[in-house]
Amino acid sequence: MKKIIAMMMALMLVLTGIAVFTACDGGEENKGSTETTTAAATTEPAENEAPKVLKMATNAYFQPYEFYKDGKIVGIDAEIAAAIAEKLGMTLEIVDMEFDSIITAVNEGSVDFGMAGMTVTEDRLKEVDFSTSYANGKQVIIVKEDSPITTADDLFAEGAAYKVGVQLGTTGDIYATGDFGAENVTTYSNGNEAVLALLGGSVDCVIIDNEPAKALVAANAGLKVLDTAYANEDYAICIKKGNTELLDAINNAIKELTADGTIDAIIAKYIK
Ligand code: ARG
């Protein structure tokens, strides 16, 4: 009798063990797209030592790279960053801020890196280091469906003085200000506000990155994206100058995540 009880208890212990194990396993799922991601560690921290936090600055009004879904920041950048954090055995924390503040935050050290569909430019390279590029982008032009602007060239036509809307501090802002003068460029906090201004008639077009442009046009009737691109660019992660340890670690992670198809799969999930 004692033997049977002992056997039953042992069996119960094993079953509980399986139940606990399965529960943990299920918990690991769909972590890739959450705002704060606990990464499964390759270099697991000691038992009761919390995994180190990797802080990313972004501007989460830039679908499909970073945007809010059910109160969480999701998107291509959010998922690639989560995969990088996982490689480094760290927990990703995303801090949403004005696009214009990202480089400052990186340099002040309030965040570890910036990832925001950010284009590598000569000027930015003077302020921060950039990782290897993980995606391409291009600047395009959004107009109202019945707009007299039909190609990028129309903006440069003799005597044309179209009003351009852009997101503050973006390459769209920088290029448009250079080409058309600050007096013809109005800056907004994000692409959505620029598009509302276009619909309201305060600007004649919006210059913004291609994929966010498509998302904005899909969400707002009466708009279209012109076929001719305004500029081609590479997106990369920005890191404080001199932080070669983090730069190397991120570049290594990008290399591995490119080689095993993770980055392509994440991009394909958001860009059909
Ligand atoms: N690619 C452009 C730039 O680097 C725009 C990026 C805007 N990103 C954002 N998350 N709002 O200037």
Residue with CA nearest ligand 1 atom 12: 170
Q: Are residues 228 and 107 in the same domain?
A: no
Q: What is the pLDDT of residues 228-254, one digit of tens each?
A: 888 899 999 999 999 999 999 999 999
The residue with tokens 């000691």 is: 46
59 pocket-lining for ligand 1 (C-beta < 6 Å): yes
Q: Are residues 219 and 157 in the same domain?
A: yes
Q: Domain holding 225: CATH number?
A: 3.40.190.10
| CA of residue 168 to ligand 1 center, whole Å | 9
Do 192 and 61 contact (CB within 8 A), yes or no?
A: yes
Q: Are residues 126 and 142 in the same domain?
A: no
Q: Work out which ligand 1 atom sits closest to the CA atom of 59.
A: 10
Cα(61)–Cα(267) distance, integer angstroms: 17
- Count the domains in the chain: 2
Positive/negative CA dihedral, 232, 234, 235, 240: negative
Ligand 1 pocket test target in 56, 58, 62 with most atoms within 8 Å of CB: 62
Q: Are residues 130 and 240 in the same domain?
A: yes
| pTM confidence score | 0.82
Give pLDDT, residue 64: 98
37 lies in some domain: no
116 pocket-lining for ligand 1 (C-beta < 6 Å): yes
211 lies in some domain: yes
63 pocket-lining for ligand 1 (C-beta < 6 Å): no
171 pocket-lining for ligand 1 (C-beta < 6 Å): yes
Tokens for 104?
């400052």
Do 180 and 203 contact (CB within 8 A), yes or no?
A: no
265 lies in some domain: yes
Positive/negative CA dihedral, 32, 37, 42, 47: negative
Q: Work out which ligand 1 atom sits closest to the CA atom of 58.
A: 10
209 pocket-lining for ligand 1 (C-beta < 6 Å): yes
Give pLDDT, residue 228: 86
Half-sphere exposure of 82 (CA within 13 A, CB side): 25
Percent of the chain with pLDDT over 70: 82
66 pocket-lining for ligand 1 (C-beta < 6 Å): yes
Q: What is the pLDDT of residues 107-130, one digit of tens each?
A: 999 999 999 999 999 999 999 999
Q: Are residues 160 and 125 in the same domain?
A: no
Q: Are residues 120 and 164 in the same domain?
A: no
102 lies in some domain: yes
Q: Work out which ligand 1 atom sits closest to the CA atom of 208.
A: 5
198 lies in some domain: yes
Of 188, 194, 98, whose CA–CA distance to 142 is shortest?
194
Q: Are residues 154 and 183 in the same domain?
A: yes
Q: Are residues 62 and 191 in the same domain?
A: no
Q: Are residues 186 and 246 in the same domain?
A: no
95 lies in some domain: yes
Q: What is the pLDDT of residues 179-223, one digit of tens each?
A: 999 999 999 999 999 999 999 999 999 999 999 999 999 999 999
Q: Are residues 130 and 64 in the same domain?
A: yes
Res 257 pLDDT > 80:
yes
Q: Are residues 184 and 262 in the same domain?
A: no
Q: Work out which ligand 1 atom sits closest to the CA atom of 169.
A: 12
Domain containing residue 90:
53-134+236-270
| CA of residue 255 to ligand 1 center, whole Å | 23
66 lies in some domain: yes
Do 185 and 174 contact (CB within 8 A), yes or no?
A: no
Q: Are residues 61 and 175 in the same domain?
A: no
Contacts 24+ apart (CB under 8 A), 254-257: 254/84, 254/131, 254/132, 254/134, 255/132, 256/87, 257/80, 257/83, 257/84, 257/87
